[in-house]
Amino acid sequence: MSQLVSLVRDGNVALIVIDNPPVNALSSAVRAGILECFRAARDDAQVAAIVFLGAGRTFVAGADITEFGKPPQPPVLIDVIAEIDQSPKPTVAAMHGTPLGGGFEVTLACHFRVAAPGTRVGLPEIKLGLFPAAGGTQRLPRLVGMDKAAAMILSGEQMPAEEALEIGLIDEIVAGDLRAGAVAFAKRVVAEKRPLRRVSELDDKIAPLRADPARFDEIMASHMKRGRGLDAPKAVVESMRQTLTLDVEEASRNDRDTFVRLIPGEQSRGQRHIFFAEREAAKVPGVSKDVKARAVRRAAVIGAGTMGGGIAMCFANAGIPVTVVETSGEALKRGLDTVAKNYKTSVTRGSLTAEEMERRIGLMSGATDMDAVKDADLVIEAVFEEMDIKRQIFGALDRITGPDAVLATNTSYLDVNAIARETQRPASVLGMHFFSPANVMRLLEVVRGERTSPEALATAMAVGRRLGKVPVVVGVCHGFVGNRMLRARSIEAERLLIEGALPQEVDGALTEFGFPMGPFAMGDLAGLDVSWRMRKAQGTRAEIADALCEAGRFGQKTGKGFYLYEAGARTGKPDPEVEAMIVGVSKRLGVTRRPIGRQEILERLVYPMVNEGARILEEGIATRPGDIDVIWIYGYGFPAWRGGPMFYADTVGLKTICERLSALATASGDKRHEPAALLQRLAAEGRGFASLDEKKSA
């Protein structure tokens, strides 16, 4: 028998134990082992029932995705599953940990499913631009109904065992020893001569839809959300539609063909790239596995404004007590009231229980005296973006906190090294740059100063993960990685307006590309006054945005910005007044306006970002192109299925990007558009950014 899968006996029950650490991925050897053990158990007259079990920390957590894109090695998963499906003896899947993807599809071929408390099941393939083609789209709707199946498959989200039990996805939650519990369950099935419930043959949930196929389309439409128009969600719908006309075996054969077509597609390649890049980002040069993160038992946040409040929520959500410090009782109350209001909204929406809200609010305490942070293991400063105030605060924190405390700033642009120099412990100072809204956005730029120690970095990374964030280490420069690239885009966005485009055309090019919103709608949402104040402080100008602010148009908060917002509306309408204003600016600057096409808009917004990304890599501000991609996907809404700006650049071809940038540099006279040396070198060598990534992803 294969070493990865073993067959053991417990009385008349055969146990097939899958032991392929760390997550029992379904490699070709595991698939072969399962099949071999299953056949042996099926054909053994002494065996009355068969239990599938995972060794270690989880049941099979999915396919071995390093095998994707390689020629399939037999036996393929659908064949293994088809054989288990036809078992003449009762089969029981005993689940713990995270039975996901192909692993979960194996359990759907069993007659019964039991799970340990805390198990989370799911079909996350959609997140890799794929779909559960080993019967998931066929069996799940037959078991739990089309609506629940579509919700699970199209979101890719995991479901806790308790909920799975409620909807009939599993038969029992086994408290205590899972193996013993599952064997006892199997023995009971045998003793009671329970009928074998073959999921592939269930029809009661499908029959009503067969009589009313329009209902099928309605259900699917309600779960499509942002996936509309993408290859994988489309494949899910067509695959699930087959339940109305075909049996599982026939449909599965079609599914396999579709799956094989999706794998080499750009969308799936982009999403798989991000999957690997996110894991690579966790590896920080100079921070080996032996470096121990310091324990963070208690945190503190300085400033309870937009960011401070959100950051404090992150800690409370993760169960970490947090102290919030403000300048006055009034400011503190305002901040904490906003936090309470946010939590109440979640309770009203049903995503949080009132009890949990109380528990989280109970983990927060407020103070107006900095001494209150003296016991904190980690302090995050989120006060106004002003160097003098930040310097003062870090001087004070250095005096007040214990010698091992890590001190972080949430600054967006300021020099983290200069802030660190205000302390006697620059090794324990770094940036933890959250994104707004801080309790929602998953990106965390961890800014490594010139003196930041590996322990401090490891601590920030570990805390970031505890808060549910995707932490990425970046170096010190104006705007770090994300905002520095954003700036390159914003400058060009304004130029496009001056040359002849309108806000809705610029935004439209980006939403068509896949961003949730374009730069002008985003500016209106964030408030145009914020960057206006920053430009005034720096003595710089953005002609059109400044003109809007001078006319009192600050964006959504004033009902007017680049767009017009009718009473409480969240999406704006084009405003003729803004158009007149833009035309006026062009005229004043002596620019003859011309129509600008979508493609030109897109290239002029995205390629300068790629160019800035290349400089960021040259300067070592980001470690790998994949880190930049992760930053843009989790922090700025870059469409994941395009793999991030650097991955996207590779798909366009770096030679093309260089040529366009050179042309843009000549036309605009802006030297920043000259292609970066790295970009030129890679283009000349016929390489892409992917060739710089340590690990190949596809």
Min dist CB 412 to ligand NAD, Å, is 4
102 or 308, CB closer to ligand NAD?
308
Q: Are 665 and 673 in contact (CB under 8 A)?
A: yes
Q: Does residue 439 touch ligand NAD according to CB under 6 A?
A: no
Contact pattern from residue 304 through residue 323 relative to ligand NAD, giving x for each residue in contact according to CB under 6 A and a dash for the rest: xxxxx---------------
Nearest-CA neighbor of 30 among 39, 19, 41? 19
105 is catalytic: yes
Q: Does residue 15 touch ligand NAD according to CB under 6 A?
A: no
256 bridge partner residues: none
In 3-state terms the chain splits into helix, strand, coil percentages (rounded to 5) of 55, 10, 35
Q: Does residue 455 touch ligand NAD according to CB under 6 A?
A: no
Which of 83, 125, 249, 450 is catalytic? The answer is 125
* b (16+ CB within 10 A) / e for 685-697: eeebbbeebeeeb
Q: Does residue 436 touch ligand NAD according to CB under 6 A?
A: yes
382 or 679, CB closer to ligand NAD?
382
Per CB under 6 A, which region of 9-17, 301-309, 571-579, 619-627 contacts ligand NAD?
301-309
Q: Does residue 555 touch ligand NAD according to CB under 6 A?
A: no
Min dist CB 437 to ligand NAD, Å, is 8
Q: Are 405 and 379 in contact (CB under 8 A)?
A: yes
Can you tell me which of 125, 255, 278, 326 binds ligand NAD, judged by CB under 6 A?
326
3-class SS of residue 4: coil
What CA–CA distance (Å, rounded) separates 123 from 137?
9
192 is catalytic: no
> What is the amino acid identity at position 594?
R
Contact pattern from residue 576 through residue 615 relative to ligand NAD, giving x for each residue in contact according to CB under 6 A and a dash for the rest: ----------------------------------------
Q: Does residue 302 touch ligand NAD according to CB under 6 A?
A: yes
3-class SS of residue 604: helix
Min dist CB 468 to ligand NAD, Å, is 17
Which 374-413 positions form the footprint of ligand NAD (CB under 6 A)? 382-385, 389, 393, 410-412
254 or 436, CB closer to ligand NAD?
436
Q: Does residue 441 touch ligand NAD according to CB under 6 A?
A: no
Distant-in-sequence, close-in-space partners of 391: CB < 8 Å, separation ≥ 6: 418, 419, 422
3-class SS of residue 445: strand
Q: Are 553 and 520 in contact (CB under 8 A)?
A: no
Can you tell me which of 245, 288, 327, 666 binds ligand NAD, judged by CB under 6 A?
327
3-class SS of residue 315: helix
Q: Does residue 496 touch ligand NAD according to CB under 6 A?
A: no
Distant-in-sequence, close-in-space partners of 536: CB < 8 Å, separation ≥ 6: none
Q: Which residue is nearest to ligand NAD (CB)?
A: 305
219 or 443, CB closer to ligand NAD?
443
Question: What kind and span of H or E run contains 160?
Answer: strand 159-160
Please report the beta strands in 164-291, taking only residues with DSSP state E, as ranges in sequence order. 172-173
Nearest-CA neighbor of 173 among 122, 236, 113? 113
190 or 396, CB closer to ligand NAD?
396
Structure tokens at 42: 């099926």
Which 499-528 positions form the footprint of ligand NAD (CB under 6 A)? none
Tell me the Ramachandran region of residue 443: left when phi exceeds 0, alpha when psi lies from -120 to 50, beta otherwise.
Answer: beta
Which positions touch ligand NAD (CB under 6 A)?
A: 302-308, 325-327, 331, 382-385, 389, 393, 410-412, 433-436
Catalytic residues: 105, 125
